[in-house]
Chain A
Amino acid sequence: MFNLFLAVFPEIFIINATFILLIHGVVFSTSKKYDYPPLASNVGWLGLLSVLITLLLLAAGAPLLTIAHLFWNNLFRRDNFTYFCQIFLLLSTAGTISMCFDFFDQERFDAFEFIVLILLSTCGMLFMISAYDLIAMYLAIELQSLCFYVIAASKRKSEFSTEAGLKYLILGAFSSGILLFGCSMIYGSTGATHFDQLAKILTGYEITGARSSGIFMGILFIAVGFLFKITAVPFHMWAPDIYEGSPTPVTAFLSIAPKISIFANILRVFIYGSYGATLQQIFFFCSIASMILGALAAMAQTKVKRLLAYSSIGHVGYICIGFSCGTIEGIQSLLIGIFIYALMTMDAFAIVLALRQTRVKYIADLGALAKTNPILAITFSITMFSYAGIPPLAGFCSKFYLFFAALGCGAYFLALVGVVTSVIGCFYYIRLVKRMFFDTPRTWILYEPMDRNKSLLLAMTSFFITLFLLYPSPLFSVTHQMALSLYL
């Protein structure tokens, strides 16, 4: 029997945890008796615990999900796709929160609201993934984005960081506005906002002769709004500035969690809701442009965080290849690509956070790493090689499957551009590795050892990246199931 309460339990729990942690933080951090303690680490651990409990509640609700259920006036839907996607999102959030604890200590960052906002935005992302209506989708996107706008500007002392937060606010608000405009045009032209109804109206609409410019513009605007949010080219303008100016844990969050949930929404809206050739051209162009720009612009970068920003733009291009195909294989390759991208990005940002204390801002500062901290240098190299797509690492598997899917549906040019830009990308990733291992350092920087959370996270993610090739079938079958349940 379908029990609504049990289905929504993860979200209920995480919202309650957010409020309880907020009250706990306010009461204790302003209490004179305890001498106004900084509660960022405290609330951080409790927040991590609540994310893991939410994950448990979600994962243990599995027997309900063999059949898809719509709930709350049909605004949300829980099926296999949302199940696995939400588990993946919660795992990424837990990993990223665990990276932040050292940052709180060393920067003397005493705003516990950081964690509360992250939990709230995680709840927004859970809703985003299970949204099944344009209104629900928009509300969840706004809940998630608003929290991120605030934490992107959390380093208030520095004007540079505040500028990055302001740019993120403008970019996000503008893209939400465009998205909402598209939703309203679709509602105006069709009278429907629910994805089931939209699927019946919009699927293949351009060949049934029922063309309407309102629908076309609506779909176009929604696509542009989504592309802004995943910072695909040509809508990527401020992304490197935002990534560079925000505090590093926030950059880590920005590049992992919203991308997972926005891609889930893209899949829902465009694969289920309005499947057609309208968008294939847009996403084709955007993925080609993202791959090319990501490869070429990253070559000229001298700062580590900007390099990671451009490489994430490039990776979004590869992942959009999977979307442009429109086949089940394409969706499956997109999901595999997102999963491996999230792991690699967590790896990369954990390393950047570990090196941050020793003032590594420029790539050239990495020179002494191989001699003073060889294990970290090897881990960094594994991550960079995986980004470059070198076998036998996980990045190669994801790119291989993406290009395979593109070839399978006849998008030969896409696969060709992908391969060429991968090779160009190899150049600067290998240049980083060369810098670490084979160049004499400019100045000898002594790297401090990292804390236990980051080292555990790095161990787990690099273990996965290295050994994924040996046993890829669980991920392949999970993503296949997700892709199938998207269509059914």
Chain B
Amino acid sequence: MDTAICDIRRAFVFFFPSAYRDMSRFRSLLQASVNATKKAFTWNIEEWVPPPERYIFKFHSKEDLKKWHLYSDSEYGGLSSASLEIPDGGKGSDGTGIFSGNLSVDLSEGSKLNISRSGFCGMRSKKFDGFIDLDGYDAIAMRLRGDGRCYISTIYTENWVNSPGQTEDNSWQAFVFAPKDRWYTAKIPLARYLPTWRGNVIDVEMEMNPGRVLGMSLSVNAEGGAVGAKSGAGDFRVEIDWIKALRMP
């Protein structure tokens, strides 16, 4: 019985190759709608709301690191450097990402782009086709072990009032304090993220649209930051385990 069906299938594929592709697409569509109907009919309340917390980024393997790219003021003529790596500690999925480097407030000679403040490095998640939907969450949590510096966490949301040719997205920034040499889960409510533009805080009361998040970033500045945190030029190092979205009860 089974082999008869296999034969029929093989014959079908042989004679109608394009139809087989459409059939499998149709079958997956059918499966998806059956699943949706089944989900709608269950009384399970947990599926009605998004889960109370959700991973946005993990830093456990090399694949996770590929989603990020680094930037620093060396693109504008500064002398800072940064790197993001997972140390090979034997166990594959047990690593944590280490973002480290050196901040320098000097500008190299002869650079064409003049920037007034130097000394920043950051890692930014790569743009992908689609959004991160954080609608229903109201805080970001990060598990960090740092060096006492104050880092800046940025959320990029879609900007649909851009003039053509300008590719910058809305950026919302908040300070994250990474205490020295101990693991700490930083919880930043989304309301604490301030709208900024090219590094300066915009003095306007705006609400972020968390349903259209394009990416996040973690960066460090040579100056500025909270009182009591380490600042200034020099080395920096922070280990990150994960970034999650939380809903405060």
Seen from chain A, the residues whose Cβ lies within 8 Å of a Cβ on chain B are 157-160, 163, 299-300, 302, 361-365, 367, 431, 434-435, 439, 442-443
Q: Is B136 an interface residue (CB 8 A)?
A: yes
Find chain A residues with CB under 8 A from B87 CB: none
Find chain A residues with CB under 8 A from B39 CB: 300
B48, B136, B157, B206 pick with most chain A CB within 10 angstroms: B48
- Evaluate contact between B40 and A159: CB separation under 8 angstroms: no
Seen from chain B, the residues whose Cβ lies within 8 Å of a Cβ on chain A are 36, 39-40, 43, 45, 48-49, 136, 157, 160, 170, 205-209, 211-212, 249
- Evaluate contact between A157 and B206: CB separation under 8 angstroms: yes
In the assembly, what is the distance between CA of A464 and CA of B20, in Å?
Answer: 58
Q: Which 9 A-B pairs have the closest CB atoms?
A: A158-B207, A159-B209, A364-B48, A160-B209, A364-B49, A299-B40, A362-B49, A157-B207, A443-B249
Find chain A residues with CB under 8 A from B209 CB: 158-160, 163
- Evaluate contact between B45 and A361: CB separation under 8 angstroms: no
A39 to chain B, nearest CB (A): 20
In the assembly, what is the distance between CA of A434 and CA of B43, in Å?
Answer: 10
B168 to chain A, nearest CB (A): 15
In the assembly, what is the distance between CA of A229 and CA of B136, in Å?
Answer: 30
A300 to chain B, nearest CB (A): 5
In the assembly, what is the distance between CA of A364 and CA of B170, in Å?
Answer: 32
- Evaluate contact between A302 and B45: CB separation under 8 angstroms: no
- Evaluate contact between A159 and B206: CB separation under 8 angstroms: yes
Find chain A residues with CB under 8 A from B43 CB: 431, 434
Provided the pairs A361-B136, A364-B45, A364-B49 are in contact, do residues A160 and B211 lie with their beta carbons within 8 angstroms?
yes
A298 to chain B, nearest CB (A): 10
In the assembly, what is the distance between CA of A137 and CA of B160, in Å?
Answer: 35
Tell me which of B45, B136, B157, B249 contacts A439 (CB under 8 A).
B45
Provided the pairs A163-B160, A439-B45 are in contact, do residues A362 and B136 lie with their beta carbons within 8 angstroms?
yes
- Evaluate contact between B40 and A300: CB separation under 8 angstroms: yes
B30 to chain A, nearest CB (A): 16
Closest to A435 in B: B45
A376 to chain B, nearest CB (A): 20
Provide 17 A-B residue pairs closer than 8 Å at the C-beta atoms, listed in order of the A residue: A157-B205, A158-B207, A158-B209, A159-B160, A159-B206, A160-B207, A163-B209, A300-B39, A302-B49, A362-B48, A362-B49, A362-B136, A363-B48, A434-B43, A439-B45, A442-B45, A442-B49
A162 to chain B, nearest CB (A): 9
- Evaluate contact between B249 and A302: CB separation under 8 angstroms: no
B123 to chain A, nearest CB (A): 26
A357 to chain B, nearest CB (A): 16
A446 to chain B, nearest CB (A): 12
A437 to chain B, nearest CB (A): 13
Find chain A residues with CB under 8 A from B249 CB: 443
Find chain A residues with CB under 8 A from B36 CB: 300
In the assembly, what is the distance between CA of A313 and CA of B214, in Å?
Answer: 32
Known: A163-B160, A367-B45. 5 other contacts (CB 8 A): A159-B157, A300-B36, A300-B40, A435-B45, A443-B249
